[in-house]
Structure 1
Amino acid sequence: MSFVQAFFGEKFVSVMADGLAGDGKGNIISEYFEKFKVYNDDFVFGVTGSSRIMETIFDDVERLVNQYPNGRVMGMLANTIGNAKPSDNIDFLTVIMFDLSGESVVGMIQKIGETDISLMAPRGQEIKYLGSGPKDVSADLINAKIASLWKEAGEISDVAQIKNIQLKLNEFVSSQSPSTVNNNVKTFIKFI
């Protein structure tokens, strides 16, 4: 499994992912796997699941981004992921996507085989969170930790504060599920 998380607002996005990757059969194959990629400086795609599946999807996304506008790529990927049938190898796959090419950030999260997606475009000072974590750490527990970290941070004035919250959140999730999440993180921050 994996932990891919993002905080984003109308004018920025900050994505972070741990580096632990497995082969889908319980074997660790990398401590420093890149679980999200940035294409054309304007399209960010992150995914959880086995490394084999991630690499295949990253190749497919690169091909699409080179052929179509970002908004259309998001729609095509959402349709493909929503219509996919979960199997033993990919029942937990979740994707996070961001289109940074417009006037504001548009983010999306979707699980394989589910047509319900969360598509968000924050307004003003609003900051949104998207994330996908290990099955053995409840979303409620992660959300409670986020609320605690926000409260501790006080007023958020820059992306460095958000990155610090993301690091603390990753440390928390990796302490809850050390066999599936580590602290070897990769970060992407962009203002638009």
Structure 2
Amino acid sequence: MLRDLRTNYQKSELTEESINSDPFRQLEEWLKSAIDEKNQEPTAMVLSTVDARGFPDSRVVLLKEINSDGLVFFTNYNSKKGRQITASPNVAVNFFWSKMERQVRIKGVAEQIPEEYSVDYFKSRPIDSQLGAWASPQSRIIENRKFLEENFSLYQHYFQDHEIIKPPHWGGFLIRPEYFEFWQGRSNRLHDRIAFQKSNGAWDIFRLAP
């Protein structure tokens, strides 16, 4: 039965003394640990946006950069998430690393990154991924799988004689965080939750009950 499935978390703890006073550095530390511990898809994060009817919409995307301004990921700007962010830039992301019994929740405001940064990253992608960005009209209804495969072949043939450039509808978003919450699983469901809330350019730090 589903109701009988449970895990007693006891691998680590998170205290006010041990947490980094800079939430960006704390996120980087936990992300590095997730990579070192060989968590599957350690950079995967659930991105939540809001649609035109006010319904939340979530999907998994991959974090590609953390910098002093925020978190960067890439997508098709004409996709559902791209259009939703353009209409309502307030977003949330969630990381979960089961091996380490850790979760990070982040809320912030998303914006498109400068075009030259998107171009640089696009050039670093594998060729098949570059072609896929051209071939897939992301989030649009399509007839069947064959449509995608034929579209991919079409661009594969075209770019045999042309330099592959970044599609104008593809690029990066920067999420500027205003809230971080770090969750460490603990025994008896008395989990550690320490949050950072941005206030007048500084971070207020507080503990939450699990």
After TM superposition, is the score higher than 0.5? Answer: no
Larger Cα-atom Rg: 2
TM-score tier by shorter-chain length is: under 0.3
Normalising by structure 1, report the TM-score. Answer: 0.24
Higher relative contact order structure (alpha carbons within 8 Å, sequence separation ≥ 6)? 1
> Which structure is higher in strand share?
2
